[in-house]
Amino acid sequence: MKATEPRLTRAVVEWTGWGRTARPARDDARVIARFGREAGPALAKAARRLEADYSAGSAEFRTRHPELGGDAVDALAWCAESDRGRG
């Protein structure tokens, strides 16, 4: 089993705006500003890939991504819930 990767978890939270904005505000620039020009782009790309793989309430997602902390999963759930509300 993979260990939790705190930096990836923080990057997903930062990218979504969870805990900072009233609605999801997916923003690569925020991740790059926080993690730098070397690591930031790859972390932002990883956040986008994870969001594409996420399905709300999916136990399979947690199984596929044990490296993510609960905050990242909560942030992705928040985005998914917001997107469903727009439909």
CB 40 within 8 A of CB 31: yes
pTM, two decimal places: 0.90
Structure tokens at 62: 């947690």
Domain containing 49: what range?
6-86
HSE (side-chain half, CA atoms, 13 Å) at 37: 0
CB 63 within 8 A of CB 4: no
In a domain, 1, yes or no: no
CB 16 within 8 A of CB 75: yes
pLDDT interval class at 3 (50, 70, 90): low
Could you report the per-residue pLDDT of 10-25, keeping only the tens digit for each? 999 999 999 999 999 9
In a domain, 18, yes or no: yes
Provide the domain count of the chain. Answer: 1
